[in-house]
Amino acid sequence: MKILFIIMISVLLNVTAYGAEWSINQVMKFTPAIINNYNGIADYESIKIEKDFLTLQDSANGWLQTETISLEKDYILSSAFVHFTQVKTEKASTNSRVKLCLINEDTGKTILEKIFFSSGSMDLTNVFYENYSLRLEIYGSDILIESFGLTRKKLVIINTNEIIVKPDILFYGEEKLNIKFNLFYPVFLDIILFNEKGTIIDYLSQRKLFKEGTYNIEWDPEQSKSPNLSSGKYIVYFNIKALNGKQIEATKKFLFAKK
């Protein structure tokens, strides 16, 4: 008897794995059911379906692995979860457990794994890849798997409206330009200063890795070696690239007065 893993939700969006989809609540949930074929599962060993539960088939342990699950660049994973019960019998093992592994499908390597002795979740907040699979390992014939899966959330890197460039008019020799911004996730960041003709005046950051946090970057025109430094309108250009490949561009303007 083969296995079908179906998504028990009413509205489905964004197909990302054969037989598995993200719900409007951004959950991909695999729930076992008896039928003559299976979806969403790439491979399995020593498992069977009993009623609405997944359990072992005449073995001390077994496993299954999902098909590839891909994420759009606007999303990142939030957590992996598993729901199961343990049958209370005289032969029930005190060491029965479930291991959930998140696999990077591009390399085949395990990114994170966690052992569960009861239903729970595994935090995936700082995982930045595009293609994954879930591997579920069962140890103990008294384990009954009800469901397992992933949750995701929108990737918000930066609020560009909250980037602050001060002062609005910068006077040479009197003050420095201050650039303040807040990052919610690690990024590679270019910050480039242009004049109104599009000529590069200075690089304030070149492909530098910034972790999440609040930053203040200063530019001192007196330290600039640019031969094109003159009074006029200036543009601060931001090229922001998240670790999952999502890219954002932003610009801020100010006036520069050189004596």
Position 196 pLDDT exceeds 60: yes
Residue 64: what residue type?
A: L
pLDDT per position as a tens digit, 91-124: 656 689 999 999 999 999 999 999 999 999 999 9
Q: If you average pLDDT over residues 233-253, what whole number do you get?
A: 94
Q: HSE of 224 in the Cβ direction (CA atoms, 13 Å)? A: 23
Out of 12-16, 21-25, 54-58, 171-175, give the one with best mean pLDDT: 171-175
89-116 burial code (b ≥16 CB/10 A, e <16): eeeeeeebbbbbbbbbbeeeeeebeeeb
Burial of residue 223, with CB atoms counted within 10 A of its CB: 0-12 exposed, 13-18 middle, 19 or more buried? exposed
CA distances to 32, 63, 123 from 12, in Å: 18, 27, 24
CATH of the structural domain 3-154, one choice from 2.60.120, 2.40.128, 3.30.365, 2.40.50:
2.60.120
Task: Give the pLDDT confidence score for residue 34 in this predicted structure.
Answer: 54
Per cent of the chain over pLDDT 70 is 87
Which residue spans of the chain are classified as CATH 2.60.40.2550?
160-257
Task: Give the pLDDT confidence score for residue 164 in this predicted structure.
Answer: 97
Between these two residues, 8 and 136, which has the higher pLDDT value? 136
Q: What angle do CA 245, 151, 126 make, to 5 degrees?
A: 45
Which residue spans of the chain are classified as CATH 2.60.120?
3-154
Per cent of the chain over pLDDT 90 is 63
| Range from 53-62, 151-160, 205-214 carrying the lowest mean pLDDT | 53-62
Q: If you average pLDDT over residues 142-161, what whole number do you get?
A: 92
SS3 for 202-222, per residue?
EEEEEEEEECCEEEEEEECHH
Rounded to an integer, what distance in angstroms lies between the CA atom of residue 65 and that of residue 208? 37
Task: Give the pLDDT confidence score for residue 1 in this predicted structure.
Answer: 39
Mean pLDDT of the chain: 86
Instruction: pLDDT band for 4, please (50, 70, 90 cuts).
Output: very low
Instruction: pLDDT band for 3, please (50, 70, 90 cuts).
Output: very low
Task: Give the pLDDT confidence score for residue 18 in this predicted structure.
Answer: 35
**CATH code of the region 160-257:** 2.60.40.2550
